[in-house]
Chain A
Amino acid sequence: MRSTIAVFALLSLFLLPTTSRAQEGDLTYTVGWQAELGISYFGAAIWLRMWDDNWNLLDQDFNNGYEYASALVMADVHARNDSQSVHAGETIYWYWPEGYGWPPDLHEIGYIEDSASLPGAGPGSVTLSTDAFIPYNWVGDPLLLGLIYGGDDRGFSYYGGTSRISIVGDPYNPGINDGNWLLSPAAQAGLSEAYDLHTSLDNLPFLGGRLTQAARDDWDWGGDKKLAWAFGDIGDSGCDSYERLGDSIQAWTSSVRIRCHGYGANPVVPWPFSAFAPDIDWEFTLTLTFGFDQVQYVLDGSSDGYPSFELYLSGHPVLQQQDSGDPWDLVGWPDTPFYVAGQFSG
């Protein structure tokens, strides 16, 4: 930042015209600057200071080495700190040095502006990927013995594999973008399949029996192996908010809060067995803070505890919640809490 703002001109009055305009966002600053001849006072220093909207000092630089310089140059920097404000005009003042009258006079002497993203503002967006899946080859219906459901048969994984319900979206880094989503969050439900326990396994259930290929390939409705299949109902699952929290740490970071929830009309169970079945439920709030070349996250939420639940940010594992092993947890509340905080490099 220092190198960015260390723009001075000494002993002459001129503007530094710049016309470049970078993308906008909380951490995009627009700075006007002015070099001022003013009155030369031996021993004073030239300063360049940057403030945010609340007059918190963002940064300053000065030329200690120049003993003949005199003017204090103030660059009024507006870094957006809420979703509504926009970059204000930049006004340049010069400051009467100490010892020559008090209170000091601020004289507007014109402005010129430039804008750019603060270095280290982080990636332009992150990929939020979350899903619920059944790690087993199959699971039994807790109510109707003899009926089993196909599982996703996998461990935690960012890449590949099926899931019962998933949401993927790319929230923008609010520090450098005015938009909310690069890719809007999209929910998808996997194919749920019901099988006859007695005809679909290659071994006894308690001896590790797995679904046979013949059962997997039984697509005849009313067949003797696969009894039903359907795409789960994703309901209104998704992320329905993108709340800019503004900047912090003297405008070096910018945060966003995202709320997501998922419910599927029990995507484990296909029609017609899904009649009056409880939903799969989960909900969470994800706070992302971009800055210092990092993305910090705080994930706070809860799920049913069944099935397994995972969440990744740009491939970085944030949450890998093993299922409780009890499909009965689907009944009632999403009362298995999770809270995770961490960071990864952008």
Chain B
Amino acid sequence: MMRRLRFFAVYAAALSFAVAAPVLAQSLGAAPLPQTTDQFRRADTRVKLATLRAMASRTVMPTAGNLVSIVQLALDDTAPEVRRNGCRVVTARMWHPRSSSSSAGVDAWRAEKAGLEPVKGLLLGLIRSDPDEVVRREAIIAAGNLDLELEPSDASRLPRVRISAELTAVLADAYRNEQDTAVRTEIVKSLSAARSESSRRSEVLVAALADVAPQVVQYAVLGVGDAQVKDALPTVVSYLQRHPEVRVRLAAAQSLAMYGAAAAPYLPALQEALAQESDPTTRKTIEGTIRVIQRVKRWL
């Protein structure tokens, strides 16, 4: 009797497993994600997105060649969400420590950078002409991460990034034609925060001082200070005194501190702006800027 019961128990368990296993496997996502270009090309959008996500989080490790090929396919896909996430894979793969006491992390960053270099052209193409604004924005972030080099820390302890003249030119051209505020913000933020040999950086930053969007102006103001664009100084001072957006006034105060001695003639304007300013953070920043300029003036 017991033996018969045991037989039925085993039989029932086996039968249940046979019925449930495929369903379970599907629900757990046990189906392998594409690891080759052919598999990726044939996959539907949902699977493509899952694949890209896994590649970004490194839960799937295709060979270096397949990684690049799959990212290239993703950046060229007809579905904007696939292109978007192709960009995100590049950004995520480039997120290695860039400064470290041990060189292992930096070496890994450089190796990944070199490996993904072939997709740079596609990213620049997306910045130039992708119809989807989110794709254009993600492409800027991805291309920047792929392009940037670290400047050695200067005396002010600000580790800064530098981008190539090629990327600077692409961003400058894109700014001229860009209608979307978020994308223009990303362009100007990138050009203001990342230094470049190209004179087109300053050209765009000066043009962006007149942008209609305050978030764009904020970064332009910071950028002209960092690039020491002397002709832009009066505009920066006027923004400190009169701009309705606090973020722009704060940026203007910081920008004047970056100008240093060149901003010394505007100390009375700074005092005037301090007297008018109502935002506590901007007030403290203006006070700091006055101290910085006075200090530099004394040294001279």
Chain B, interface size category, equals 35 or more
Contact between B182 and A271, CB atoms less than 8 A apart: no
Contact between A332 and B185, CB atoms less than 8 A apart: no
Chain B residues within an 8 Å CB radius of A275: 144, 148, 161, 189-190, 193-194
Minimum CB–CB distance for A186 against chain B, Å? 15
Chain A residues within an 8 Å CB radius of B193: 271-275
Report the separation of the CA atoms of residues A331 and B157 in the bound assembly, to the nearest whole angstrom: 26
Report the separation of the CA atoms of residues A146 and B85 in the bound assembly, to the nearest whole angstrom: 30
| Given contact pairs A142-B97, A332-B57, A147 touches B156 in the complex (Cβ within 8 A) | no
Interface residues of B in 189-235 (CB under 8 A from A): 189-190, 192-194, 215, 218-219, 222, 226
Chain A residues within an 8 Å CB radius of B91: 276, 278, 331-332
Chain B residues within an 8 Å CB radius of A221: 254, 257-258, 285, 288-289, 292
Contact between B144 and A227, CB atoms less than 8 A apart: no
Contact between A333 and B159, CB atoms less than 8 A apart: no
Minimum CB–CB distance for A278 against chain B, Å? 6
The residue in chain A whose Cβ has the minimal distance to the Cβ of B154 is A222
Chain A residues within an 8 Å CB radius of B60: none
Contact between B292 and A271, CB atoms less than 8 A apart: no
- The one of A142, A143, A233, A273 in contact with B185, judged by C-beta atoms closer than 8 angstroms, is A233
Interface residues of A in 163-220 (CB under 8 A from B): 191, 196, 218-220
Task: Pull 12 A–B residue pairs with CB atoms less than 8 Å apart, ordered by A.
Answer: A144-B97, A147-B159, A220-B289, A221-B257, A222-B257, A222-B292, A271-B192, A271-B222, A272-B160, A273-B193, A331-B92, A332-B88
Q: Across the A-B interface, how many residue pairs have beta carbons closer than 8 Å? A: 126
- The one of B185, B289, B292 in contact with A265, judged by C-beta atoms closer than 8 angstroms, is B185
Report the separation of the CA atoms of residues A144 and B85 in the bound assembly, to the nearest whole angstrom: 25
Classify the interface of chain A: helix, strand, loop or mixed.
loop
Interface residues of B in 4-52 (CB under 8 A from A): none
- The one of B53, B88, B156 in contact with A222, judged by C-beta atoms closer than 8 angstroms, is B156
Report the separation of the CA atoms of residues A274 and B215 in the bound assembly, to the nearest whole angstrom: 14
Q: Does A258 contact B (CB under 8 A)?
A: no
Q: Please list the 4 inter-chain residue pairs (A to B) with the smallest Cβ-Cβ separation, ordered nearest first.
A: A276-B144, A221-B257, A219-B288, A275-B193
Interface residues of A in 219-266 (CB under 8 A from B): 219-224, 227-231, 233, 235-236, 265
Contact between B182 and A236, CB atoms less than 8 A apart: yes
Contact between B288 and A220, CB atoms less than 8 A apart: yes
The residue in chain B whose Cβ has the minimal distance to the Cβ of A327 is B95
Q: Does B129 contact A (CB under 8 A)?
A: no
